[in-house]
Amino acid sequence: MEENIKERTRRARKAGIASFIGTTIEWYDFYAYSTAAALVLGKLFFPTTDPGTATLAAFATFWVGFFARPVGGIVFGHLGDRIGRKKTLVATLLLMGCCTTLIGFLPVYQNVGIVAPILLVVLRLIQGLAMGGEWGGAVVLSAEHAPKGKSIFYAAFAQQGSPAGNLLATLVFLFFSTLPDEQFLSWGWRLPFMFSAILVIIGLIIRISVDESPEMEKIQKEKAVARLPIADVLKKYKAIVLLGIGATIITVTATYFKTTFALAWAVHEKLFTRTEFLSIVSVAIFVQLLVQPFGAILASKFDLRKTVTWMLIPEIFMLPLMFSLIETKSMPLAMIGMALATVPHSLYYAALAGILVKAFPTQVRYTAISVTYQVCSMIFAGSTPMIAQYLLNETGTILSAMGFAIAQVIITLICAVALIVYAKIPNERDEA
């Protein structure tokens, strides 16, 4: 019996580490695009005399990837709930890596005209499909390998891939952003995308070595696999999906407020140079990487509703503070503001994956949490930089973007508490 527990723990750790590395690579690919959208894609693929309009157009292509994510969630969720989590995750990693690498080889508008943005949009759509199937599968694989009473903690392994991938993408762009503008716009921006090819090879080797989840093996053996998972989700779990979408909002938008919209705003308003603000962002992401796991630990040891509430309330004040401190043009103050704004949503993000896993049964879990997370991403994450930029363009003040951020935090808090109550999600401390 003791040997079985040790073996289960070993497999759980291996699955957790593999999920972390796989999602790191996937998020690197996705965040590389968001950083490029803020810095160069508008100039290269949507030339115009107005920098704000060009940035808005680049953010629109950024949003296109989010439109494809729910479709990817349904397609890959179906495969993951029927043929297995592991095989499906290998496919998503390959698809994402190939698309990201190809973006690095695209011709720009000056070379081929309208063909350039069309090709960019197509690759961004395929990126979205892959990302739509990645997150849910990685979370489920980790959580289903977890020992009893530790699914929130192990699901958070996959969550660490987001700040790790974001940090890696930001540091790579930071390195190349030190090039003279002419070189950066000519070829420097391409290298972070080409770098993805190396990462994918590493990720595939690790991901292929992981075992299928015990819960998936069990339902396959018992022939209890859902015939059409998405139909079951829409028929039996609509309310949970809707609450889950609301509970996910700030976790998918806060990053893009900071690393996409704020980056474009700060650079265009000449509050900071491109390199300076990428340094500020890097510090904030590093803070996320350090503090995020504590969210899963807290959610595992204390009452879930109270923990979630106390994680999110500070964000109502921290996001506006972040924008205010950026306006000071002080590097230390901007770093402090962005780091403080990072802590609340990072803690909550770590807990969210396990909460969503517990809300749905094994037979439809991959599909259900993928659809929940990716529909939220499509509606809120991809649109956030664009809407914030629009509000800024129309009002001429950053206060409008601050109000937009506060509203998202409040909606997330209300829906998160309602989800825990409605889905009757138990406290992990009672399960262990």
Cβ-count burial 362-374 (b if 16+ within 10 Å, e if not): bbbbbbbbbbbbb
**Quick one: how far is CA 162 from the chain centroid?**
5
Q: Between 53 and 34, whose confidence is greater?
A: 34
- Cα–Cα–Cα angle for 128, 342, 14, nearest 5°? 60
What would the mean pLDDT of 80-84 be, rounded to a whole number?
Answer: 92
User: Residue 78: is its pLDDT beyond 90?
Assistant: yes
Whose structure tokens read 């973007």?
401
Are 375 and 67 in contact by the 8 Å Cβ rule? The answer is no
Are 65 and 236 in contact by the 8 Å Cβ rule? The answer is no
What would the mean pLDDT of 404-427 be, rounded to a whole number?
Answer: 94
pLDDT of residue 313: 96
Q: What is the pLDDT of residues 144-168, one digit of tens each?
A: 988 887 889 999 988 998 889 888 8
pLDDT of residue 236: 94
pLDDT of residue 1: 45
> Please, what is the end-to-end C-alpha distance for the chain in angstroms?
17
pLDDT of residue 50: 61
pTM of the model: 0.86
Helix pair angle (399-422, 238-256), 10° resolution: 150
Query: Cα(74)–Cα(56) distance, rounded to whole angstroms?
Result: 29
What would the mean pLDDT of 36-60 be, rounded to a whole number?
Answer: 71
Q: Between 381 and 401, whose confidence is greater?
A: 401
The two tokens of residue 214 are 């015990």
User: Residue 432: is its pLDDT beyond 60?
Assistant: no
The two tokens of residue 272 are 């900071």
Longest Cα–Cα distance of the chain, Å, equals 70
Grouping H, G, I as helix, E, B as strand and the rest as coil, residue 346 is helix
Query: Cα(260)–Cα(61) distance, rounded to whole angstroms?
Result: 13
- Name the pLDDT band for 48 (thresholds 50, 70, 90): low
Query: Cα(404)–Cα(207) distance, rounded to whole angstroms?
Result: 39
What does the DSSP 8-state code read for residue 270?
Answer: T
Torsion of CA 107, 48, 121, 253, to 10 degrees: 130
Query: Cα(312)–Cα(348) distance, rounded to whole angstroms?
Result: 7
The domains of the chain, with CATH numbers, are 2-431 (1.20.1250.20)
User: Residue 49: is its pLDDT beyond 70?
Assistant: no
Q: What is the pLDDT of residues 381-396, one digit of tens each?
A: 878 888 988 898 889 8
- Name the pLDDT band for 111 (thresholds 50, 70, 90): confident
User: Residue 66: is its pLDDT beyond 80?
Assistant: no
Ramachandran angles phi, psi of 83, nearest 5°: -100, -15
Q: What is the pLDDT of residues 293-316, one digit of tens each?
A: 999 999 998 999 999 999 999 999
The count of residues in the chain is 432
Task: Tell me the Ramachandran region of residue 424: left when phi exceeds 0, alpha when psi lies from -120 to 50, beta otherwise.
Answer: left
User: Residue 9: is its pLDDT beyond 60?
Assistant: yes
- Cα–Cα–Cα angle for 84, 372, 64, nearest 5°? 100
Amino acid making up residue 207: R
Grouping H, G, I as helix, E, B as strand and the rest as coil, residue 195 is coil
pLDDT of residue 3: 45
pLDDT of residue 51: 63
- Name the pLDDT band for 33 (thresholds 50, 70, 90): confident
Mean of the per-residue pLDDT values for the chain?
88
pLDDT of residue 264: 83
User: Residue 137: is its pLDDT beyond 60?
Assistant: yes
Q: Between 34 and 357, whose confidence is greater?
A: 357
- Cα–Cα–Cα angle for 176, 265, 96, nearest 5°? 50
Q: What is the pLDDT of residues 232-285, one digit of tens each?
A: 999 999 999 999 999 999 998 998 888 778 888 888 888 998 889 888 988 998
